[in-house]
Structure 1
Amino acid sequence: MKLLGKNHIIICIITFVILFLMNFIGNDQPDKLYRALLTAFAGVIGLSIGLLILNKGKNDKTPPHNFD
């Protein structure tokens, strides 16, 4: 999956909505909107970093020597 491609943006939106709703609905604190937004943004950023690391070595033709 290409970073910032169509599929990546769709998955990020779905992840944001799920994390936001889970934190907004299940929270009784007075600052639940702030916490839900912060958690959802952190989840999307973490997903993007993970996909960046995953795609970095996807087309690597020279694997490291003595890997095990």
Structure 2
Amino acid sequence: MTVEVVKEFLANFPKPKEWRNGQFVYNILYRIDHTAAEFAQFEQHSDCYYNDDKIDDFIKYWTKKVNSYE
């Protein structure tokens, strides 16, 4: 899986109007793999839930963790 594939998936997933962008990314990827989300959030300090500037890093680290399972 690549970062581009994850971003494309997210771009095609309906975002609730009341969610911020970072909140959306975090919530969707957390639901897919909570361990990878917590790795990105806590171990890599890329918490995009409240900080949209961290979205790209969060996706990068989430993808890295998911790919490490293979």
- TM-score, length of structure 2 as denominator length: 0.33
Larger-Rg structure: 1
- TM-score, length of structure 1 as denominator length: 0.33
